[in-house]
Amino acid sequence: MYHSLGQIPLRDRLGIALHASDGSVISRRLSTPGSPNDGRSPSYKMKARTMTAFSANLNKVALLRNTRDNGLPDVCRFSRLCVASGAAGITVHPRPDERHTRPSDVHELRQLTRQLRVEFNIEGYPTDDFLSLVYTVRPEQCTLVPDAPNQRTSDHGWDVVAQADLLKRVVPPLRAAGIRVSIFMDPTPEAMSLVPATGAHRIELYTEPYARDFPTARRDAALAQYAATAQAAQQVGLGVNAGHDLNLDNLGPFLRAVPHVEEVSIGHALIADALELGMSEAVRRYVALCQTH
């Protein structure tokens, strides 16, 4: 392992992810496709502040495209815009009904993210079809969510007791394929000690409850709950991602309160902001929040 930036060949310094000897992140661009950082660092208390990566979820771009047959807006074009504006990765959630992202999008985005040398994150419930798609394209990260096939959007995390057998069956083969695995979790500190048994590298904190409480007197209590959950996860060696209903107003306070968030993936609010600001400016604002908190 390289222990200083000077030891790393110049060709490997350009637009890639570098990690110091303690696991802290120097840069968030991807190193080599198929060899993700596994999200486990035994020294969270010692490491420098984590630089949070911003991953642009483009499901809503695909949703709009699917209302016509002319291919507009182009998901790959918007992916390029996001990356050019500072996004460290692209996220999609291909659902069984193909209401937004389709398998063909996943294949095209896999090629594009490799070309752009950024992370590709695929979310979904681990059906046989979903897992087959993931194994075929080999994203850097697969985020498993406990969604029913007809669910409108993700609205709860995994029950790592009741659903332990399923997770223990599907996570290890994903790891063996070189894919970092994150599982969607509610902000429940006491559940974090059960996650390592599934084999997951990271959790993704389901943040809709925080977003709902943000404009109310419950904000501080919600932030304390998320901070405690993140700390509990990190104490057992898990990396922490976050996502769902984060936006330009509530993201900064969340990152200030919750320690060492590795990555946030944001889609719905990103597209809402892009309608007003333009996609490039919206991405730049999210990236700036990730870099300054």
Let me know if 140 is a catalytic residue. Answer: no
Q: Are 57 and 265 in contact (CB under 8 A)?
A: yes
Cα distances from 260 to residues 3, 29, 192, 212, in angstroms, run 21, 17, 16, 22
Chain position carrying tokens 């904000």: 219
Nearest to 186 by CA among 246, 147, 148, 242: 242
The active-site residue out of 100, 119, 123, 201 is: 123
Let me know if 19 is a catalytic residue. Answer: no
Let me know if 244 is a catalytic residue. Answer: yes
Q: Are 89 and 56 in contact (CB under 8 A)?
A: yes
CA–CA gap between residue 240 and residue 144 (Å, rounded): 14
Check residue 25 and give left, alpha or beta (phi > 0: left; psi -120 to 50: alpha): beta
The active-site residue out of 100, 119, 140, 244 is: 244
User: Known catalytic residues?
Assistant: 93, 123, 244
